Amino acid sequence: SQQGEEDPQALSIQEGENATMNCSYKTSINNLQWYRQNSGRGLVHLILIRSNEREKHSGRLRVTLDTSKKSSSLLITASRAADTASYFCATLGNNAGNMLTFGGGTRLMVKP
């Protein structure tokens, strides 16, 4: 079963606009990670936020984490056509031996 669920499932915006994707999860976590997947390629790590952190930035990416609501959001500012991809959140549980559990992803299309 999937731990995380992304919302929306698909998002289409114009270049220059901001894109926001949300992730909800069910059980307590050690950390939450966001990955990008270009069509037909492997996943690329974007950002990791630990359970005791509330916000992290990396370039045009901003991630927030609300452990009380068991949710996270990924904001991409000033989007570019090259940002077109699927974005996945993945959670790592607190138990020893836990591995990443992925959500179903958000397909982002940025129109030039």
Q: b/e string for 16-40 if b means 16 or more Cβ within 10 A?
A: eeebbbbbbbeeebebbbbbbeeee
Is the CB of 14 or the CB of 30 nearer to another protein?
30
Interface mask toward another protein for 1-40; x: CB under 8 A: xx-x-------------------------xx-x-x----x
Contact track, another protein, 63-102, x by CB under 8 A? -------------------------x-x-x----xxxxxx
Q: Which of 7, 24, 48, 67 binds another protein (CB under 8 A)?
A: 48
Strands (E), the chain: 5-7, 10-14, 19-24, 29-37, 43-50, 55-58, 61-66, 71-76, 85-93, 101-102, 106-111
Q: Find the shortest distance in angstroms from Cβ 112 to another protein.
A: 26
